[in-house]
């Protein structure tokens, strides 16, 4: 039995136990217990069949529409059961005095109901509204080696489009493009995951994305989702063709895709290096990136900006590494797990650098953009879609 299947079975078993608990609460407290308990049983059976259908649909070999259906089925199922979990925890705490034959603390149960309803509303607010609520974050970066001609240079960073999650609807990504262009950046950087699984997801959006304009162009890299690793292919040749098509698609819209290579931007007699590595993945993600191939002389004096999808690359090979003289690294990948409230995100359990600006003791910067799109779950609870405007300044 594979681990994911085991987790699914355990989760469903826990949910059924929760429903059994709620059934007995209804029988004890409802004004018409027979009617409400029967309604409850009917809903439970319907939800059980609903999730069984959802987890039975094909994933890796199914269509993009099928994958989106699975996402929405699983998500809507948990918008019901996560609030139930919250209520049960509070109700069990409220019932502790009964161990000493004292009255149940009903106020705690009521608090559990209120919090459960709040979380239910928050989950659907994130799915229906907040995942389209674009945030533009302005960040100032001071670099001592920055050439004079690049003092005040503006870079617009965006990441993790996951275009397949929008089917063929270009409305939201058109808003993203307009928002980036309105900032009038000198350069635009896209830090990977333009699709979920297959290159054909991006085809409806190519005319929209081709409207991105900046004097020094649009630079991009690949993320872990861009290689076709999450889709079953008939053979390796078909997978390679899919990746080549993605390269050509970005070339067609005028983006400069950096595949373990470097591009030099010159203003007058000054220049900076834009380094782009392929995906550098910590387990279980594949490693395609090679920093030394991208720029063999990492310790030279030119100001370097690195585009690398996974921020773990910075923590592993760049931060506090005297041999890697890279002033600024731009990453994505984490999405802040599409959940961030009051500056807190579950991403912190997986990544030390999950969102925002970081720096090491030598003053090398990392900025992690939490992305535009959604994957896995079709929601953003907090963690709004992000466009970052990074302004470079010469440190005094």
Give the model's confidence band at 71: pLDDT under 50 very low, under 70 low, under 90 confident, else very high: confident
Q: What is the pLDDT of residue 356?
A: 97
- The one-character DSSP state at 344 is B
Q: Is the pLDDT of residue 63 over 70?
A: no
Q: Is the pLDDT of residue 80 over 90?
A: yes
Q: Is the pLDDT of residue 221 over 80?
A: yes
Q: Which residues contact 186 (CB under 8 A, 6 or more apart)?
A: 153, 154, 155, 214, 215, 216
Q: Is the pLDDT of residue 64 over 70?
A: no
Unique residue bearing structure tokens 């809507």: 76
Mean pLDDT score of the chain: 92
Percent of the chain whose predicted confidence (pLDDT) is above 90: 76
Class of domain 136-394: alpha beta
Mean pLDDT of 157-175: 95
Q: What is the pLDDT of residue 191?
A: 98
Phi, psi of 199 (to 5 degrees): -65, -35
0.95 cut: is pTM over it?
Answer: no
Q: What is the pLDDT of residue 205?
A: 97
pLDDT digits 0-9 by tens, 280-295: 987 777 899 999 999 9
- Give the domain ranges of the chain: 3-128, 136-394
Q: Is residue 196 a contact partner of residue 162, using CB atoms and an 8 Å limit?
A: yes
Q: Is the pLDDT of residue 66 over 90?
A: no
Out of 64-68, 71-75, 164-168, 338-342, pick the least confident.
64-68
Q: What is the pLDDT of residue 273?
A: 98
* Nearest-angstrom CA–CA distance, 160 and 372: 6
Mean pLDDT of 384-388: 98
């Amino acid at each position: 039995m594979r681990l994911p299947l085991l987790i699914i079975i355990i989760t469903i078993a826990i949910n059924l136990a929760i429903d059994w608990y709620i059934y007995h609460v209804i029988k004890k407290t409802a004004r018409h217990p027979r009617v409400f308990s029967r309604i409850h049983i009917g809903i439970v059976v319907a939800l059980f069949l609903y999730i069984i259908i959802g987890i039975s649909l094909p994933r890796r070999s199914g269509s993009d529409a099928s994958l989106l259906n699975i996402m929405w089925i699983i998500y809507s199922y948990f918008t019901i059961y996560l609030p139930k979990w919250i209520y049960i925890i509070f109700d069990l705490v409220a019932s502790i005095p009964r161990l000493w034959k004292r009255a149940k603390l009903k106020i705690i149960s009521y608090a559990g109901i209120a919090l459960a309803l709040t979380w239910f509303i928050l989950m659907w607010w994130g799915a229906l509204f907040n995942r389209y609520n674009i945030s533009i974050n302005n960040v100032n970066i001071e670099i001592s080696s920055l050439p004079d001609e690049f003092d005040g240079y503006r870079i617009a960073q965006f990441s993790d489009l996951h275009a397949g999650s929008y089917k063929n609807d270009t409305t939201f990504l058109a808003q993203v493009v307009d928002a980036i262009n309105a900032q009038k950046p000198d350069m635009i950087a896209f830090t990977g995951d333009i699709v979920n699984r297959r290159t054909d997801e991006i085809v409806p959006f190519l005319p929209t994305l081709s409207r991105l304009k900046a004097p020094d162009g649009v630079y991009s890299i690949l993320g872990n989702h861009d290689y076709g690793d999450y889709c079953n292919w008939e053979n390796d040749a078909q997978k390679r063709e899919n990746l080549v098509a993605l390269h050509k698609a970005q070339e067609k819209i005028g983006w400069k895709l950096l595949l373990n290579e470097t591009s030099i931007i010159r203003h007058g007699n000054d220049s900076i290096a834009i380094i782009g590595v392929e995906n550098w993945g910590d387990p279980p993600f594949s490693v395609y990136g090679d920093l030394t191939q991208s720029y063999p002389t990492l310790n030279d004096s030119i100001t370097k900006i690195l585009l690398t999808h996974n921020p773990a690359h910075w923590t592993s090979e760049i931060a506090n590494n005297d041999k890697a003289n890279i002033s600024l690294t731009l990453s994505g990948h984490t999405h802040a797990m599409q959940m961030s409230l009051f500056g807190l995100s579950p991403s912190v359990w997986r990544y030390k650098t999950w969102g925002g600006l970081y720096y090491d003791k030598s003053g090398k910067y990392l900025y992690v953009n939490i992305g535009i799109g959604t994957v896995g779950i079709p929601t953003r609870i907090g963690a709004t879609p992000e466009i970052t405007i990074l302004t470079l300044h010469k440190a005094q």
